[in-house]
Structure 1
Amino acid sequence: MRRWLLVWLLPFLQLPAWAESCGEPALAIHQIQGAAAQSPYVGQQVTVEGVVTYSATGAGELRGVFLQSADHQQDDNPTTSEALFVHSPAPLSAPGRRLRLTGQVQEYHGLTELTRVQRPTDCGLAPLPTATTIAWPPADGAEALEGMRVQLASPLVVIDQYDLGRYGSLTLAPDRQPIPTQILPPGPRAQTLYRHQQRQRLLLDDGRLQRHPRPLPYPPGGLSEHQTLRTGTTVDQLAGVLDYRFDHWRLHPERPPVFRPTAARPAPPAPPEGHQLRVVAFNLGNYFPYRAAAGQPRESSRGAASARQWQRQQQRLVSTIQALAPDVLALTELASDGYGPGSAPAILAQALGAQWRFVRSPDDGHDAIRVGLLYRSDRVDVVDAPMTVDLAGSRPALVQTLRPLIGQHSSRLPPIRLVVTHFKSKGCGRARGADQDQGDGQGCYAARRNRQAEQLVEALTEAPPGTGTLILGDLNSYARETPLGRLANAGYRDLLNPPGQSGWRYSYRFRGRLGTLDYGLADQTLLPHVQAARTWAINADEPSILGYQHQRFGDRVAAGQPWRSSDHDPVVIDLGTPFTAFD
């Protein structure tokens, strides 16, 4: 009986021994981390003791805590981190508590952590280790700061919000980032810039692994029409735990950072003095009128997936166009659905007003989307029949000459040959041979876009005397990529990115990088009449989750507002009496 009682009591008699072990020798955290990217103790069982600095063991959270050595237990080696992540599905301890435990060292997607935790012992209250003040990115890399408390010496800016609705994170950097081939020719220098930009990025995370978090962690107070989170927003007072997982450095903040909008949503650009004609080029972001009858499949996987989405899309696009007050609209990503009363161009023209007309292209090609041209019949008149240019088996370009009018009289502007085009995208689906990514920064199908530029130049060689040419549309190429160079060599001036311009422009954002995909290119006849060429930054800077497609946030932009009406910004070109801005 006594022997059985002793066996039964043995585990309980040992409990005080574990508590008494607090403060006894343990393997230092900086020894586990080591000076290399991978721990020298991978696969080994170790006992550590440190202060909990951040706990994320709740439902949907990281399932663990960050443990850091107390200030007096840290070494003087700047190449070793003094903290690590302890993975545990069960609660361990709260921040400001000293914790001792045994676990196995492993590397998880580049993060050194302890797992298979045994004998966790709360050793009582302890002061939090001092946060290390750092510049971002650290000059010697962030590996030696993995898991540690840090505070950033300077604010960062938001460069991307793509994962805000998906994972509750924002991408930050010291400055906004251009697409490398927006400012550099394709090749090694552009690729070097891309890698440099990657090192400058820091994800502002929320300590959770939950998809589609409710509510959103940023901005404070929630996302709405009046409280957006545009790229370029300054984020200050960044302090928390520095984490690395899934190939990105992340900051889990200890306190809410401060968001400071650096620029309000812009008003539509005002026409300059002497303006006679306004031309707008706009990628509509898959304009497919919603017609699905009950119980029948949709006609296309593009565009609005419901009547509600279609209503939002239509309202925002019409609001955008009306705010710009164009005379001519060069459009891309229209549904390729003919020209009947229920077709995309007919519905859009009707929504814009009785004075609007659309051009019937003789060939829309075989793609689901096409280009289109709409114009105000009281401001311009068509000259001759439209023609198309086949572009390497892709969407044909539409060519139509227009004569500007002032009331019932001709203006001083020459007839304008408008060319609306949409080059092959950078997506790699079905890319073969020369169309595959060549590793120079231009993405897939660069060879095809080059051929399309050449075919366009060849088709436009002969223009009627005195007629100016304006190429408009989505070229799926950034400013220093080869297709733009070929068009420039043929005498077409990039109006958004003229030679000698300081800084860089953009109409599109891709994974946190900005550049121009949408263009206006003028020949020498038209160039003296170009008074201004700008984009209206209503879409590329806005969070994508405010788009019409998003079920949870699509309604947070009121009807009649243009914000996130598409994923491209419209290009606005004002023409008038001879001007010298682009000479």
Structure 2
Amino acid sequence: MIHFSGPFLAASVAALTVSLVAFTGCERTSNSSTSAPVGATDSILTEPAEGQAAWEGQKGENATTVISGNLDNVDWGSLVGQQVRIDGDLVVVDTFNLMHRGQVVVARERIFIPTEHVDPNDTDPNGTAHEGGRNVAAVTAAQTHNDNSTITIDDGSTAENVFPPALFPTLGTSEATVRLGSVVEGVSGRLIESGNQLTLVPDQPLRWIPSPRPQRPSLGEADVTVAGFNLLNYFSTIDDGRNNARGADSAAELQRQEAKLASAIVALQADVIGLMELENGVEAEQKLVSAVNKVIGKDVFKSSGLPEGFRRLPGAGDAIRVGIIYRKDRVVPTDKLSSIDDRVFATARTPLLQSFRSVEGGSPFTVIVNHFKSKGGASDADTANRNKGDGQGAFNAARRNQTLAIVDYIDHQTTTGGPSRILVLGDFNAYRQEDPIDALRAHGLVDLHDRFARNRSQGNPDTYSYVYFGQSGSLDHAFATKTLAADVTGIATWHINADEPRFLDYNQEFNPKALFNADPYRSSDHDPILIGLNNTVD
């Protein structure tokens, strides 16, 4: 891989996108580690015959290497200091360092995390084995392919946090955002090396096709809509650097975060919403509900709060929790909020669940909201939970056990006269072909994205909800019991966050003030999922 280095490695990438604009040439020097920034004008562009030089610059520097095929076959190290022209379309896969360092990462197509499409256990992606490792070599090969399939385009300047960025001078005027999935129609420039990073500094105008923001997806003829939404650490407590708060660093940031989240929640048009990364306690949830109701203009959303005895449960001591809010004018609870008491959740967040019925009648349905153990913190992992090098990260065993606890709970409910119409959703911290997700399928739960996709073995490019180091994947999922699955009218991941650049979020440290809007876009780092239910017939 030629672009993950320095500060980039220290951060958790979430997903972003790009729209590229034209800019002029860059002066070339004999030092292979430097290049003049975008906007320099000493280069002379020519259009060569095939195999001849495409650029005339300082003496001895007129050779151009033309790349027309896949990027993973390129020996980038041998091209340092040379003029390189990449023909054909390139897709923006990462904008994490666009504002900070003037960089954008491109590839021939969107890149998916290997375990989104490649099962570590089964050579057949439709298999449901949830332990083993006989297909790890394929996962490793996919990661190697990803690592070699990108190139970073750099503005050639050492200046940081420049607005508008040199690569996108129309950002903030004719362009509101730079989304992942935007297309760059070829690029030409000099390949330079700085530290451990190779970047391409363009010397001719870039042509680009911006990726449009999608409208709210259709869910068919749904009577009730349920959503799952990771809030990216919504805390009403200000993070002062000494407490356990993980969200806004000031009252102004909290106001901005709240405004974007409230706008997103209203735009979901959902009747029941499972929330993740909510500050533990009840204050933050109530504050968010008040903000949502203020946007709507009437008191319609209600918080389910916390069940009795919650603090004593495994996982309840975490700084964040899951939650449930609902529109009381559209659905009514048919029982109290409850939880799943199992020690396997001590490393995660306690699952919460509640049953609802449409105000127009119909059969009740139960929503179980989850947030499984993350892949990080490997230094704290025991032998069973260490990173096995199979693409699933650390604590895979813990996540698999958390899945099995959910399955056991559902089995107990459905065999003892409890609810049978159950929807399981949340941030499982596992991609689509990983063990925890396969375990849910293996035990009879219906993967709703599978049900509405043609073929799981081919993957569904629209289901990703998160982007990590330029690789897209689904951490957020929805499953249903067979009884409820028959009444699901549709499911969709709404890409309002993962494809948007992080400089549009609520943070004020480096984000341009002119770009902030109290809208749904980049309200979090995860995309929300929406599930439609036909729930009016008993």
TM surpasses 0.5: yes
Summarize the Cα distance change of 1:444–1:466 in structure 2 as closer, same or farther, 3 Å threshold.
Answer: closer
Contact kept? 1:285, 1:333, Cα under 8 Å: yes
Contact kept? 2:420, 2:481, Cα under 8 Å: no
Structure 2 CA distance for aligned equivalents of residues 333 and 298 of structure 1: 19
Structure 1 residues 415-424 or 457-466, which shifts more? 457-466
Q: How does 1:21-170 map to 2 (within 5 A)?
A: 54-55=28-29, 96-98=57-59, 129-135=62-68, 136-137=70-71, 139=73, 141-170=75-104
Q: SS of the residue aligned with 1:331?
A: strand
Contact kept? 2:238, 2:254, Cα under 8 Å: no
Q: Which AA in structure 1 matches 2:301?
A: W
Contact kept? 1:529, 1:578, Cα under 8 Å: no
Shift of 1:328: 0.4
Q: How does 1:390-409 map to 2 (within 5 A)?
A: 390=342, 391-393=344-346, 394-406=348-360
Aligned match for 2:465, one of 497, 503, 507? 507
Contact kept? 2:289, 2:301, Cα under 8 Å: yes
TM, length-normalised to structure 2:
0.79
Aligned match for 2:232, one of 277, 285, 299? 285
The CA deviation string for residues 528-574 of structure 1, in whole angstroms up to 9 with x for no partner, is: 11111001101000111221124332644454411100000000111
Shift of 1:297: 6.6
Shift of 1:299: 4.2
Q: Which AA in structure 2 matches 1:351?
A: A
Aligned match for 1:563, one of 506, 521, 525? 521
Structure 1 residues 355-364 or 560-569, which shifts more? 355-364
Contact kept? 2:219, 2:531, Cα under 8 Å: no
Number of paired residues?
Answer: 456
Contact kept? 2:63, 2:82, Cα under 8 Å: no
Aligned match of 1:222: 171
Structure 2 CA distance for aligned equivalents of residues 265 and 160 of structure 1: 16
CA RMSD of aligned residues (A): 2.8
Structure 1 residues 216-225 or 362-371, which shifts more? 216-225
Q: Which AA in structure 1 matches 2:510?
A: R
1:232 aligns with 2:156: no
Aligned match of 2:207: 258
Q: SS of the residue aligned with 2:393?
A: coil
Contact kept? 1:546, 1:556, Cα under 8 Å: no
Shift of 1:161: 0.7
Q: Which AA in structure 2 matches 1:345?
A: E
Shift of 1:466: 6.4
Structure 1 residues 495-504 or 466-475, which shifts more? 495-504
Q: Percent identity?
A: 33
Aligned match of 1:379: 330
Aligned match for 2:475, one of 505, 508, 517? 517
Aligned match of 1:22: none
1:355 aligns with 2:300: yes
Structure 2 CA distance for aligned equivalents of residues 352 and 221 of structure 1: 33
Q: SS of the residue aligned with 2:223?
A: strand
Contact kept? 2:28, 2:58, Cα under 8 Å: no
Shift of 1:142: 3.1
1:207 aligns with 2:156: yes
Aligned match of 1:435: 385
The CA deviation string for residues 14-69 of structure 1, in whole angstroms up to 9 with x for no partner, is: xxxxxxxxxxxxxxxxxxxxxxxxxxxxxxxxxxxxxx971398xx96699xxxxx
Contact kept? 1:61, 1:208, Cα under 8 Å: no
Structure 1 CA distance for aligned equivalents of residues 145 and 79 of structure 2: 19
Q: Which AA in structure 2 matches 1:150?
A: V
Contact kept? 1:548, 1:555, Cα under 8 Å: no
Structure 2 CA distance for aligned equivalents of residues 54 and 197 of structure 1: 30
Aligned match of 1:28: none
Contact kept? 2:286, 2:303, Cα under 8 Å: yes
Q: Which AA in structure 1 matches 2:302?
A: R
Q: Which AA in structure 2 matches 1:264?
A: P
The CA deviation string for residues 232-284 of structure 1, in whole angstroms up to 9 with x for no partner, is: 111124111123455544211112322211x31112224523x2100010000
Contact kept? 1:219, 1:259, Cα under 8 Å: no
Q: How does 1:312-391 map to 2 (within 5 A)?
A: 312-336=256-280, 338-339=281-282, 343-353=283-293, 354-362=299-307, 363=310, 365-389=316-340, 390=342, 391=344
Q: SS of the residue aligned with 2:524?
A: coil
TM, length-normalised to structure 1:
0.73
Aligned match for 1:307, one of 239, 251, 255? 251
Q: Which AA in structure 2 matches 1:170?
A: V
Aligned match of 1:479: 432
Q: How does 1:487-502 map to 2 (within 5 A)?
A: 487-498=440-451, 500-501=455-456, 502=458
Q: Which AA in structure 2 matches 1:483?
A: P
Unaligned runs of 5+ in 1: 1-51, 65-77, 83-94, 99-125
Aligned match for 1:423, one of 356, 372, 387? 372
Q: Which AA in structure 2 matches 1:265?
A: R
Structure 1 residues 517-526 or 383-392, which shifts more? 383-392
Contact kept? 2:235, 2:278, Cα under 8 Å: yes
Shift of 1:496: 2.2
Summarize the Cα distance change of 1:209–1:525 in structure 2 as closer, same or farther, 3 Å threshold.
Answer: same
The CA deviation string for residues 476-496 of structure 1, in whole angstroms up to 9 with x for no partner, is: 000000000111112111212
Unaligned runs of 5+ in 2: 1-25, 38-50, 121-135, 294-298
The CA deviation string for residues 340-384 of structure 1, in whole angstroms up to 9 with x for no partner, is: xxx011112222231222223231500000000011122222123
1:454 aligns with 2:412: no
Summarize the Cα distance change of 1:224–1:346 in structure 2 as closer, same or farther, 3 Å threshold.
Answer: farther
Summarize the Cα distance change of 1:225–1:183 in structure 2 as closer, same or farther, 3 Å threshold.
Answer: farther
Q: SS of the residue aligned with 1:312?
A: helix
Contact kept? 1:290, 1:305, Cα under 8 Å: no
Shift of 1:457: 1.2
